[in-house]
Amino acid sequence: MKVLVTGATGQMGRDIVLLLQKEGYSVAACSREQLDVTDQSECQKVISSYNPEVVIHCAAYTAVDAAEKDHVGAYKVNALGTRNIALASEKSDAKLIYISTDYVFDGNNDIPYQEYDNTNPQSIYGKSKRAGEMMVQSFSSKWFIVRTSWVYGLHGNNFVKTMLKLGQEKPKLQVVHDQKGSPTYTVDLARLLIDLMVTDKYGIYHASNTGACTWYEFTQAIFEEAKAVANISIQTELEPCTTEQFPRPAPRPRNSVMDHLSIQINDFPDLRHWREGLRDFLMNYSNHS
């Protein structure tokens, strides 16, 4: 099976490419330089020349706070870019997997969000990713929309790497304790994407490591596991704080925990608990470093 991956040098893209290659798939790994998703003719040319059976669309504008002032940039990549990929994939009769986000919800639910709950994004990033979902549903006939949350991996910058750095440098560290979600290890998400792509069980999927925590609880676990499995010395004193104490340009969902209803009803294996994924990441991170 031939698979084309957009955003292949990004955090998620690199791990899905590595896993696809490891499992013997033929992969076209397209970086931003090799495939500008905002250029419609280039998308048609690159995808038609490779003629993949599956396109995994990882390329995205992910600078959540910057998007609040750069509306055009966010929509150009996340909405128009996704339209271009959807049209080109459809022309090649390829299945399309679109990586979306928990930010399509407002975060006001008291219970986890299911795939068919109404969306209500509050940030420009969330609105532009929701627009991308609409493009996929409008222009592709064989699609998977995979919403994920709190993603981290070996490649690129992310919350776990930032906390590890600050934990070794800062005497005191405050982390938000009133936003709840599910951390997701890129390797675990990549495995699910491969499970999905070989089927025709199309639709919207919520995919994160199972279980939930606040950012403060996640940081506690990062520090505990870093000491236990990676022998990383953490010196900082950790303190909880509120969202109001740590204002950001873009609003964050207070609750972005997602129910994995589609995974369950379609009989896919669910992702493991977030703490197990974190432990594996830290072991790999230690070895990689």
| Residues forming the active site | 125
CA dihedral 128, 192, 47, 100 (to 10 degrees): 0
Q: Residue 273 is which amino acid?
A: H
Distance (Å) of CA 260 to CA 5, 39, 64, 250: 24, 34, 24, 26
Q: Which phi and psi (to 5°) does residue 15 adopt?
A: -70, -35
Distance CA(268)–CA(196), nearest Å, equals 8
Write the burial class of residue 31 (CB in 10 Å: 0-12 exposed, 13-18 middle, 19+ buried): middle
Distance CA(97)–CA(203), nearest Å, equals 10
- Spell out the residues 6+ positions from residue 279 whose beta carbon is closer than 8 angstroms to its own: 225, 229
Distance (Å) of CA 119 to CA 102, 142, 193, 216, 257: 10, 22, 22, 26, 14
Lookup result for tokens 């509120």: 242
Q: Which phi and psi (to 5°) does residue 83 adopt?
A: -60, -45
End-to-end CA distance of the chain: 33
Distance CA(188)–CA(181), nearest Å, equals 16
Q: Residue 152 is which amino acid?
A: Y
Between vectors from CA 214 to CA 147 and to CA 204, what angle results, nearest 5°? 10
